A and B are shown apart, each in its own frame.
Chain A
Amino acid sequence: MAQMTMIQAITDALSTELKNDEDVLVFGEDVGQNGGVFRATEGLQEEFGEERVFDTPLAESGIIGMSVGLSTQGFRPVPEIQFFGFVYEAMDAVSGQAARMRYRSGGRWHAPITIRSPFGGGVHTPELHADSLEGLMAQQPGLKVVIPSNPYDAKGLLISSIRENDPVIFLEHMKLYRSFREEVPEEEFTVDLGKANVKREGKDITLIAYGAMVHSSLKAAEELEKENIDAEVIDLRTVQPIDVDTIIESVMKTNRAVVVQEAQRQAGIAASIVSEIQERAILHLEAPVLRVTAPDTVYPFSQAEEVWLPNYEDIIEKAKQSINF
């Protein structure tokens, strides 16, 4: 075991898979000699060579389109989009092409591509770096969307994603890259895609979160405990497909739920979780399922992040609203 930050766990997962499978290719803007703008690919080109880890021209559509082409030749591409706000440039290649490759060819071809990309607020980035766009991806049949909240999950989920034979969008929250360390096994291990994790058990209310909001939810749960409210916190880990079983089991126990996301209210995936709960467990609910989200504006100018981004206090407020309904 070693103490790792999330970024180190990601590098470790990439290195593990580059070692395990000669068909794994890591590429993107500045991921080669430079080691990535966040050092996620540091040392990989040196260790595995330019044929395996390489820079690309600055063109997101080209990067993902090239990945689709490489897939037909038996490669397992792990491209990077430098910031997920740039995914618009590659939307056709991602949603119109990679996601549909198996279906459109009736299984003759497939696209075992893992698109890594940072996102997330709280670090005062310039425009279109921090936007939460997982909701766009979650609406595209053919994709899986993974968002780890800690170093252990990041390594296990990334290894699983790379081994997946269909495209995975792997979103890395920038604020979580180096915010804490935890024990991560040095040997290889996997965390199943599509499986949520109960981070804190509780009996009074279920808080469902992903990404940085997992930590805000855990902090809210600690504060709520002081007021004798016992919150269960679920980290989704995969936002498409959603682990409905874990959510419903929890809601049937607590009879109350709040879904927490950093994305705007009209975006993200909270609305679909609310739908799943009301379709499957309405008779178990003591209160409506509420949502903690950002306001429906464009992502804030960096100085306004603090007043705009949802935080643990917003979660406490909604939890109490549910309890007192």
Chain B
Amino acid sequence: MSFKSPLEGIDEKFEMIQILNEDGEIVNEDAMPDLSDEDLVEIMRRMVYTRVLDQRSIALNRQGRLGFYAPTAGQEASQIGSHFALEKEDFLLPAYRDVPQLIWHGLPLYQAFLFSRGHFHGNQMPEDVNAVSPQIIIGAQITQAAGVALGLKRRGKPNVAITYTGDGGASQGDFYEGINFAGAYQAPAIFVVQNNQFAISVPVEKQSAANTIAQKAAAVGVPGFLVDGMDVFAVYQVVKEARERAVNGDGPTLIETMTYRYGPHTMAGDDPTRYRSEDMNDKWEKRDPLVRFRKFLEGKDLWSEEKENEVIETAKEEIKAAIKKADGHDKQKVTDLISIMYEELPSNLKEQMEEYKEKESK
């Protein structure tokens, strides 16, 4: 005899969840999230704002007025939809592309720009912002999220830790360890994998033989969901349900959002025309999360060109003001960097502090 592969039929268990189709029509009425008209408008406002922020950030980077920048266009439903399902007290552990979630969680825009430029003040989260700065080591945020979630559970708080990585990140050891730890402790964590099809130039097909990343959750005994990451309703609803399970003590969830980045990997010289076809771009542009949500809202008379232009203008103005504020911020000194190393400086740094104080006083 030969044993049947347990993988047979597994893809059916991880079929993509969609609520809003490309034409802005509701295709899954039962799953429709409970959102007020006000909420719907606010989600659209944030998505449009984030698209403008991406366009302006790319331009500012090209002018040398921003440093490290990882484009976000295309991922608005995935980023904004998932963040909209959270509470202020939830703890956010973003990856380097997840600056928009940080901003909507309360990080002032000028600080996000200082993060991009490489200034420590950009990472000084305000006291009421439960978040750490964007993680550069792909996977490190996942094990940390398990710890934050266990901490929240031990403190008896009705909150979750949410963290993000990309499709490439799901190949890391820390990805597996993090979701496994959270599962073992039934900790209130939400792990979002934003599958934007490419890890720099490497397509997702080259990361793994698994047909979905969501199914990796099965390896650690945690529910996994594949979601249309260009559909803000589907993303919101699946995260919302994951949050409810988590705060009810039912443990973590892994969510794969199927999405796309229209821009390059980062602004540090990546050229996507080397590894992506026009066809592919066209296909994903038809799925634009803004286009379909706009159609939906216009159909309900909740959105107009005028409203959209208003958001665009506001965004541009706020971005301009934030860049100006970032420009005016104090330059970093070595003594600043020494002073944030330890609560109490060890002997070597005490000595170096004196040396640099002397230099800086000249």
Residues of A within 8 A of B (CB): 51, 56-57, 59, 61-62, 64-75, 92-93, 96-97, 102-110, 141-142, 144, 164-166, 194, 240-245
Contacts and interface: CB of A to CB of B under 8 A. Distances in A.
B22 interface: no
B132 A72 contact: yes
B140 interface: yes
B174 A69 contact: no
A69 B341 contact: no
B254 to A, nearest CB: 16
A103 B144 contact: no
A66 B341 contact: no
Contacts of A70: 147-148, 150-151
Contact of B155 (A64, A73, A240): A73
A81 to B, nearest CB: 14
Contacts of A57: 177, 180-181, 184
Contacts of A96: 137, 140
Interface of B: 91, 93, 120-121, 123-125, 132-133, 137, 140, 142-152, 154-155, 161, 173-174, 177-178, 180-181, 184, 337, 340-343, 346-349
Contacts, number: 131
B191 to A, nearest CB: 13
B341 A102 contact: yes
21 contacts: A57-B180, A57-B181, A59-B177, A61-B174, A65-B142, A65-B174, A66-B144, A66-B150, A66-B181, A69-B146, A72-B91, A72-B148, A73-B154, A74-B155, A102-B342, A103-B341, A104-B133, A105-B123, A144-B346, A166-B342, A242-B348
Contacts of B140: 65, 92-93, 96-97
A295 B47 CA distance: 61
A194 B146 contact: no
A106 B181 contact: no
B341 A141 contact: yes
Given A59-B181, A104-B123, A104-B133, A69 B340 contact: no
A103 B154 contact: no
B4 to A, nearest CB: 30
B179 to A, nearest CB: 10
A311 to B, nearest CB: 31
A243 B342 CA distance: 17
Given A56-B181, A104-B133, A105-B125, A65 B144 contact: yes
Nearest to A100: B341
B139 to A, nearest CB: 8
B132 A109 contact: yes
Scoring A67, A68, A164 by chain B CB atoms within 10 A of each residue's CB, the highest score goes to A68
A77 to B, nearest CB: 8
Contacts of B144: 65-66, 68-69, 97
A192 to B, nearest CB: 11
B174 A244 contact: no
A297 to B, nearest CB: 29
A70 B91 CA distance: 12
B181 A74 contact: no
Contacts of B151: 69-70, 72-75
Contacts of A64: 143
